[in-house]
Chain A
Amino acid sequence: MRHVACIGAGMTMFSRRLKETGKEMCFEAARMALDEAGLELSDIDTVVCGSAPDAFDGIHMKGENLLDGCGGAKKPYMRVFTGGGTGVLAPIAGWWHVASGVSDVCMVICEEKMSSCFPHPQSAFAHIWDPILERPLQPNLVWIFAMEMNRYMQVHNISKEDIALVSVKNKGNALDHPSAQLAAKITVDDVLNSEVMAWPVQRLDISPPSDGAAALIFAAEDKVGPITDNPVWVEGVGWCIDSTMWTNRDLYFPQYVARAAKMAYRMAGIHNPFKEIDVAEPYDPFDYKELHHMEGLLLCKKGEAATLTKEGVTQRDGDLPTCPSGGLLGVGNPIAATMGVKACEIYWQLAGKAEKRQVADARTGVCQAWGDLMQYSSVMVMRS
């Protein structure tokens, strides 16, 4: 297996609605990544596209539709899709293209355009539910997260106040991100006084639907030298999925995240994640999910993530900065394109290119995405 480096990244603005089409967003993100790497499309020999449910765009074969914007025409090209987990699975797919020896330089583009579906993309989310057991109950997708959050709070006796600190931190961090959709200086009280959507989930606990695209370029070790003297290496990858029957397991701990993390840490030779990881981008579509995923990523013991957050450990200048990008809560949640605040952010952090968001002395980082029907996780460990 070849050692694989990440050599360039790009992303668009994240916004509730962008004027650009999906193809145009893909092009903009890809062009930024190529410029950063100092490459042209002719240097890219394979392309991976990541995009989540077709129902948002109302375009089937979305991978094929986005092809031209991804720079994939007349090249080996594929789309990967694991719902919200796509944002880290697509870069993993890019890694395996190169690690396997199939490709020397692979470009990964992730895209989501949720605004095409109106009046609200929630109506398209209905396509996720089991048609026999769940759809007749007319569920809203927020319900399952509310139920998971409630169970997590109950098992560990965690308060809404402690969870709200994640939203305060991430929306604050997003003030330093040029793409941010919902950057803001807010307080715990703002979160607790925001509209109740599905108890215990309130408006400011939740990330917004967004349009956006992101890109990452991977190269084989023997191709990196002429391209960059500052590569970031992919050291470990992992992914795991549990049953769609989410009502058949205890929701307080995401075992599939822990399995994916162990797979990635084993490959990266990481034995004590809390000590060895300098910066983390756990998936944060809701504030409680950052805590839930820190535990799933074995960055702390079960039930301890809220305490670390309260103690400031997860701030940008803390011992374990989490979501220094501003995350989905602050920058936005264009499902697959959240690669921009997960894998791209860890690359920028480790390459020392995170500008105002830069975490000091970051050498080893982990990013994670989560999705499908509360069942899937992808994890990537990188080192500079």
Chain B
Amino acid sequence: MKKFAGERLSSEEMKEVTHEEWAPAVKYAWSCGEAMSRFLNELKKGKLIGRKCHKCKRVIFPPKMFCEFCFRPTDEWVYLPDTGTVMTYSLSYLDKDARRIEEPILVGVIAIDGASEHMGIMHYFSEMDPDDLDFGLKVKAVWKPEKEREGSVTDIKYFKPLEGEK
């Protein structure tokens, strides 16, 4: 009886063994739905928007048309400032395909001012020394010029330190 069976292959050996290859050629398009469509269309105007639940009083950001805790429809749209607080961050030397990059991508979670506690989004940071990126740092969105915005989270180029703060 075989225990812990298996034959290891290196990437070079993989090219030599009998194998098949296939590259999928598919594309996807997602309808963004009610909450996200409004959110993205507001980004195009340079604005952040959330939804308020009148039962638990939370300001939900990014917005949802339903409150997942009260399990009822949310009640109203609420505009929020484009400032927030760094909740956590990373300096990434990997791109999306795990390729190595020289200059780190500064990325983190920003809790948006005026939304309920820990209501944040992931985004980039720039216009700062990486050493100054820290927990609790107050930051402000830097937007693409209006003509270049297309209704995407990338309409915000990145967040930078809020002037006058640390």
Contact = CB atoms under 8 A, between A and B. Distances in A.
A and B associate: yes
Interface of A: 10-20, 25, 28-29, 31-32, 35, 58, 115, 119-120, 122-123, 126, 131-134, 136-140, 142-143, 146-148, 150-151, 154, 178-179, 195-201, 211-212, 243, 245, 247-251
Contact of B118 (A20, A136, A212, A249): A249
Q: Which of B3, B30, B90 has the most A CB atoms < 10 Å from its CB?
A: B90
Chain A interface helix/strand/loop/mixed: mixed
B97 A18 contact: no
B4 A198 contact: no
B121 A133 contact: yes
B2 A120 contact: no
A10 B5 CA distance: 10
B124 interface: yes
B98 A154 contact: no
Given A134-B122, A143-B92, A17 B3 contact: no
Contacts of B165: none
A13 B30 contact: no
Given A13-B6, A13-B8, A17-B14, A196 B93 contact: yes
A17 B153 CA distance: 37
B4 A179 contact: yes
B4 A11 contact: yes
Nearest to B90: A146
Contacts of A29: 5
Contacts of A250: 87, 118
B25 interface: no
Given A31-B2, A198-B91, A248-B118, 8 more contacts: A15-B8, A19-B9, A123-B96, A133-B153, A137-B124, A142-B92, A143-B92, A212-B6
